[in-house]
Structure 1
């Protein structure tokens, strides 16, 4: 774990912050290449990335504040100003709305640009999850698999007490202070998302004549990926037989992706020349 890379004048540069910055830069770079490949202005990638960053951070923070409403009410300023709380789904929703707003402002076609953004989202997410691993955040349940990782200085540390607070069934004989090895779910997400990225890039030439389908293919795969990884996550927001809030949102995203993909297919069949 390397939560703090270095300090400049009392300001700590965190590995998470650096990886988030790299995720936006890497995502914008691959989007720029995709736009150029499709015959659009690649400079729009950097413009849209800026809006995605602002909207994503705001959306992630708002989602976090709502998800932890009792703590937000008890200490609003502390919750708002804390460095924690960059929740992926909130960030995706906020970033998507900001990018859509900018696309409308620029009067550029939505679906071709959405297809160009898809590989950037996959790459950015894969990089960002490495940052989560480096600071010991969003880890999984206790396990004895050979690749298990302990986070003694995580956010929070993977102690028996913290895992019990997440709803994990830890034997009573294990003291709260004992650090346990857990599933490195952050790396699971990075690995699976890189596979998703490879699939998106492979599908791109095959779906080039049907704008929008590539984006929704990515969205469906991203939902499936998150649903699977949530099975191994240490979470305190499970209900309905162990289903987490993120899994419910994943199901919603998969359904949305399939519905929009079907609508685009119907529109293409009805107006083949326009498609």
Structure 2
């Protein structure tokens, strides 16, 4: 566990943020190499990446707030009091985390807005980004492991992890835990490699790579949630927010894999 890295002894940078930033930059570089094959200009890809980054940050924060909303409503008088005493702490409580699905949807919205604004087709971005989403997400989960967030359930079998004490997450070190972050990272890297292979063989239609990813990840995430030990991401009737979103997004993946909707759109265009 390494929540932050000290630079030159002057200031510390969050490990999660550094890992994610480097992975995102590498993904953009890879995307630039793939762009010509899909008829996408480098300039469009770079600007779309900026839009995606903004949407990602906004979406991840907004979804975190939505997941915290039931707790805020339940303890609203206490939350109001916290706002009066320390607005900064209140903001940290409401927006202090990130939710992957919010970031994914926000990034997709950012790319869509850019494409609509400059009247360029959005479909090529589906294929370019499909293998890169799990690539970046895999490194993000390694960052989660380093930070101690998104931790697993209590577990005492092989590969169990005993995290050191962290005053920000005191319950983390109370028991040994299942390394769910590393499991998800490995699964993401595997599906990223599979999607790159499928892309290289050119046996998929437009949008199908993204559809395959969505089908894989929504099912995998639904199952992985049962191995999560943190409760801050919100639950409704015993089902986590991420499981609900997985259930909603699964049909989108199936539609993309079937390909008929996009074919009609492309033929119409």
**TM-score calculated relative to the size of structure 2:** 0.83
Q: Does 1:253 align with 2:266?
A: no
Q: Does 1:143 align with 2:155?
A: yes
1:47-196 equivalence runs, <5 A: 47-69=47-69, 70-71=71-72, 74=79, 75=82, 77=87, 78-81=89-92, 84-154=96-166, 155-159=168-172, 179-196=174-191
Any idea what the Cα deviations from partners look like across 1:234-270, whole Å, max 9, x if unmatched? 1434454x432211111111112213443x32664x7
Over the aligned positions, Cα root-mean-square deviation in angstroms equals 2.8
SS in 1 for 2:244: helix
SS in 2 for 1:180: coil
CA separation of 1:84 and 1:195: change in aligned 2, threshold 3 A: same
CA distance in 2, matches of 1:228, 1:29: 32
Q: Which has the higher helix share?
A: 2
User: Aligned residue for 2:260?
Assistant: 265
CA distance in 2, matches of 1:120, 1:222: 13
CA separation of 1:211 and 1:3: change in aligned 2, threshold 3 A: same
CA distance in 1, matches of 2:121, 2:265: 17
Deviation at 1:6, TM superposition (A): 0.6
SS in 2 for 1:12: strand
Cα contact 1:71–1:79 (8 A) shared by 2: no
Any idea what the Cα deviations from partners look like across 1:34-72, whole Å, max 9, x if unmatched? 213334323433322222221111111111122112448
User: Aligned residue for 1:167?
Assistant: none
User: Aligned residue for 1:228?
Assistant: 223
CA separation of 1:3 and 1:235: change in aligned 2, threshold 3 A: closer
Deviation at 1:84, TM superposition (A): 3.0
Deviates more, 1:65-74 or 1:27-36: 65-74
SS in 1 for 2:54: helix
Runs of 4+ in 1 over 6 A off after TM superposition: 270-275
CA separation of 1:197 and 1:252: change in aligned 2, threshold 3 A: same
SS in 2 for 1:138: coil
Structure 1 unaligned segments of length 5 or more: list them.
Answer: 160-177
Cα contact 1:54–1:95 (8 A) shared by 2: yes
Deviation at 1:99, TM superposition (A): 1.4
Aligned residues: 254
SS in 2 for 1:5: strand
Deviation at 1:205, TM superposition (A): 4.3
